[in-house]
């Protein structure tokens, strides 16, 4: 269209006009208005697709001084155009060349700010593209900067990471391969961007033992810490078949490499990281800082102990209990979170720390460290509340592993603690099962000792699961938590486990030997457990039977209007229970009561038989 053409010609003419005017001026005489006109005209040229012409202007030797001073104004429209043009478009190629030229010619300070501004303004799907486009220019310009280089490098890295942080981290293999937003590629590009600066620090450290460029080192360290928190803490880091160059594993390797090269790796994993972070005046900031670094350090421990990143550099003389103790802090941080990616990292780190230990080798004194108590409690929470099944299962396995590692007294204390704190009949049942296993081990051991069979003393300190120690533990087990009013259905797991344990004790231990002490406390057991259980069973059964009868009558009476209330689970309305379904539930409850009753009968029978046998 002629009109449009005339406009573009005007834009170029305008640019030429300003340029001609400025060519004869000294740098110092450039006026503000020249800058303005230059920017407007340049931008217009780009928008109208006359990149080739603009490139000529920029490349013209005569315009060098003008570009040096004013060129940075073109960065913004230039970036916009590059992102719009298709890969194979000639115009894109021209724009890239212009960018190149600007990087060569422009004043470093202005150009740096111009580039940073572009990164700051980008958002959403364009973040990675923009960052990757500008990394190279940014690096070049940072090397040209005369002063405040460390600060500028830090600012750039912080800005880039801040822009990346809101992006979702690809988690599945497919998401990683697809890398829709380009995050995987971008992260690795950022590391490459940082590397020359790392080399500078390393070189200055080689020269003198004290790093002369502390500031740059601090900035790079901040970048590494930030990277550990995002994306690495949420990234999937398992080895994957068919992905040879796993993007995040590569990224992790590079980050740990940087830490290692700057000699910060060992101090980070090991020593208390105190006194080196800048002390904030505001306590709130200090807290945030500490919390942030806690996440990063936990991720670092995970990378090292679970995936062996950097393990080559790690001293191989630490005792496994000490490593577990150190990792407990990290495990606690991770298990408190709810995201699958983070939780599973916590579980993996816990598992790997435990697998380094031999069974029965963890001294009970470790329970004096508070996280040895809180972490299993967190584990129970995952086990009972986490919506992701494989994590629930895994946490149960790890709890068993944790129990196995303790010495007898440790197991004993842990059982007590978990019985008191879990508030979950299933978990309590599980612990009671464990108690039974320990008693079995002790009794077997005592018998073989009686028969003079040698056995490892360390493994079985029998005193904790026999005699008076055991009695005080059984006091917590062989009872109904709320007497006869206890909800038997809710507590059925626990009750069944307790009855099984009692049955085991009665069969295994005789009133004559009374190694477990169960015969001494029989009266108490009857009072606290068996009697109320009878009462409870009778009441519950009567109640449920009446309910069933009611339901059946109601069914005959009102066939349609039977919704009493609706149930919603996390905002979603559950399907209405039909009377049929309700009846089914009631029947299955009755079945549970029958089961409990039959085991109870068996136990009482055994007691009677044994007592008779003695008298």
Query: By the criterion CB under 8 A, which residues form the site for other proteins?
Result: 27-28, 30-33, 35-36, 39, 69-70, 73, 107, 109-110, 113, 116-117, 120, 148, 155, 263, 266, 308, 311, 313, 315-322, 352, 355-358, 361, 365-366, 368-369
Residue with Cβ nearer other proteins (117 or 289): 117
Give yes or no for a cis peptide into 231 (omega within 30° of 0). yes
Take residue 175 and report the two structure tokens written for it.
């998401």
Alpha helices in 478-530 (DSSP H): 492-508, 522-525
Residue with Cβ nearer other proteins (143 or 318): 318
Residue with Cβ nearer other proteins (31 or 549): 31
The answer to whether 14 and 34 have CB atoms below 8 angstroms apart is no
Alpha-carbon gap, residue 486 to 532, rounded angstroms? 9
The answer to whether 110 and 168 have CB atoms below 8 angstroms apart is no
Nearest by Cα to 300 from 246, 370, 245, 253: 253
Residue with Cβ nearer other proteins (112 or 251): 112
Alpha-carbon gap, residue 123 to 47, rounded angstroms? 21
Take residue 157 and report the two structure tokens written for it.
């890295």
Strands 572-573 and 568-569: antiparallel
Q: How far is CA 599 from CA 50, 157, 530, 532, 568, in A?
A: 90, 67, 11, 15, 36
Can you say whether residue 48 is alpha, beta or left, with left for phi > 0 and alpha for psi between -120 and 50 degrees? alpha
Q: How far is the CB of 474 from other proteins (least distance, A)?
A: 26
Residue with Cβ nearer other proteins (241 or 312): 312
Residue with Cβ nearer other proteins (223 or 366): 366
Decide: helix, strand or coil at residue 406: strand
Residue 304: partners with Cβ closer than 8 Å, 6 or more residues away: 256, 269, 310, 311, 314
Residue with Cβ nearer other proteins (143 or 151): 151
Decide: helix, strand or coil at residue 362: strand
Q: How far is the CB of 539 from other proteins (least distance, A)?
A: 36
Residue with Cβ nearer other proteins (31 or 587): 31
Q: How far is the CB of 33 from other proteins (least distance, A)?
A: 8
Alpha-carbon gap, residue 409 to 435, rounded angstroms? 12
Residue with Cβ nearer other proteins (33 or 389): 33
Q: How far is the CB of 270 from other proteins (least distance, A)?
A: 9
Residue with Cβ nearer other proteins (363 or 542): 363
Q: Which residue has the tokens 């070189």?
A: 203
Residue with Cβ nearer other proteins (70 or 497): 70
Q: How far is the CB of 38 from other proteins (least distance, A)?
A: 9
End-to-end CA distance of the chain: 117
Residue with Cβ nearer other proteins (3 or 26): 26
Q: How far is the CB of 114 from other proteins (least distance, A)?
A: 9
Alpha-carbon gap, residue 578 to 564, rounded angstroms? 11
Take residue 576 and report the two structure tokens written for it.
């209405």
Take residue 449 and report the two structure tokens written for it.
């000792």
Burial of 45 from C-beta contacts in 10 A (0-12 / 13-18 / 19+): buried
Residue with Cβ nearer other proteins (183 or 198): 198
Decide: helix, strand or coil at residue 203: helix
Alpha-carbon gap, residue 328 to 350, rounded angstroms? 8
The answer to whether 227 and 162 have CB atoms below 8 angstroms apart is no
Residue 159: partners with Cβ closer than 8 Å, 6 or more residues away: 116, 119, 120
Instruction: DSSP letter for 230, please.
Output: I
The answer to whether 54 and 46 have CB atoms below 8 angstroms apart is yes
The answer to whether 39 and 76 have CB atoms below 8 angstroms apart is no
Instruction: DSSP letter for 388, please.
Output: -
Q: How far is the CB of 242 from other proteins (least distance, A)?
A: 23
What backbone phi and psi angles, to 5 degrees, belong to 180?
-55, -45
Q: How far is the CB of 274 from other proteins (least distance, A)?
A: 9
Residue with Cβ nearer other proteins (256 or 525): 256
Residue with Cβ nearer other proteins (32 or 124): 32
Q: Which residue has the tokens 């129990």?
A: 403
């Amino acid at each position: 269209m002629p009109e449009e053409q005339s406009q573009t010609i005007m834009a170029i003419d305008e640019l030429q006009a300003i340029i001609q005017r400025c060519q004869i001026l000294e740098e110092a005489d450039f006026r503000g208005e020249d800058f303005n006109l230059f920017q407007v005209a340049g931008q217009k040229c780009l928008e109208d697709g006359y990149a080739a012409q603009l490139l000529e202007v920029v490349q013209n030797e005569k315009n060098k001084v003008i570009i040096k001073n004013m060129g940075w104004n073109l960065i913004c429209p230039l970036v916009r155009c590059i992102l719009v043009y298709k890969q194979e478009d000639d115009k894109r190629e021209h724009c890239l060349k212009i960018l190149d030229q600007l990087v060569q010619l422009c004043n470093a300070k202005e150009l740096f700010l111009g580039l940073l501004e572009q990164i700051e303004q980008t958002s959403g799907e364009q973040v990675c593209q923009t960052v990757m486009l500008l990394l190279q220019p940014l690096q070049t310009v940072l090397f040209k900067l005369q002063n405040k280089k460390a600060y500028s490098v830090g600012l750039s890295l912080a800005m880039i990471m801040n822009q990346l942080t809101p992006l979702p981290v690809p988690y599945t293999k497919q998401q990683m391969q697809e890398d829709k937003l380009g995050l995987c590629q971008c992260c690795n590009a950022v590391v490459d961007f940082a590397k020359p600066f790392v080399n500078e620090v390393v070189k200055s450290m080689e020269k003198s033992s004290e790093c002369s460029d502390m500031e740059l080192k601090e900035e790079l360290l901040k970048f590494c810490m930030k990277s550990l928190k995002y994306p690495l803490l949420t990234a999937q880091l398992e080895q994957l078949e068919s992905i040879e160059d796993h993007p995040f594993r590569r990224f992790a390797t590079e980050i740990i490499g940087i830490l290692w090269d700057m000699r910060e790796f060992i101090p980070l994993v090991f020593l208390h990281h105190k006194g080196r972070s800048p002390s904030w005046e505001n306590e709130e900031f200090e807290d945030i800082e500490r919390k942030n670094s806690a996440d990063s350090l936990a991720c670092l421990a995970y990378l090292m102990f679970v995936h062996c990143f950097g393990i080559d550099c790690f001293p191989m003389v630490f005792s496994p209990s000490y490593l577990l103790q150190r990792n407990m802090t990290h495990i606690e941080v991770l298990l408190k979170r709810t995201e699958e990616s983070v939780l599973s990292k916590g579980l993996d780190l816990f598992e790997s720390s435990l697998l380094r230990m031999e069974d029965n080798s963890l001294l009970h004194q470790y329970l004096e460290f508070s996280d040895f108590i809180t972490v299993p409690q967190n584990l129970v929470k995952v086990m009972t509340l986490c919506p992701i099944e494989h994590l629930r299962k895994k946490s149960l396995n790890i709890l068993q592993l944790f129990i196995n590692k303790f010495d007898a007294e440790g197991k004993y204390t842990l059982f007590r603690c978990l019985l008191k704190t879990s508030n979950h009949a299933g978990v309590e049942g599980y612990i009671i099962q464990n108690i039974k296993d320990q008693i079995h081990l002790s009794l077997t051991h005592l018998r073989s000792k009686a028969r003079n069979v040698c056995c490892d003393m360390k493994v079985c300190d029998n005193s904790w699961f026999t005699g008076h120690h055991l009695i005080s533990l059984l006091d917590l087990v062989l009872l109904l938590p709320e007497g006869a009013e206890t909800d038997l259905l809710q507590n059925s797991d626990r009750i069944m486990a307790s009855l099984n344990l009692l049955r085991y004790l009665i069969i295994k231990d005789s009133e004559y030997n009374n190694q477990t002490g169960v015969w001494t406390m029989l009266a108490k057991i009857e009072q606290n457990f068996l009697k109320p259980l009878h009462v409870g069973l009778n009441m519950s059964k009567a109640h449920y039977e009446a309910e069933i009868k009611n339901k059946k009558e109601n069914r005959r009476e009102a066939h349609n209007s039977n919704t009493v209330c609706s149930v919603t689970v996390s905002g979603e309305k559950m399907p209405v229970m039909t009377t049929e379904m309700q009846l089914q539930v009631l029947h299955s409850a009755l079945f549970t009561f029958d089961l409990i009753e039959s085991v109870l009968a068996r136990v009482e029978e055994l007691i009677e038989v044994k007592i008779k046998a003695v008298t």
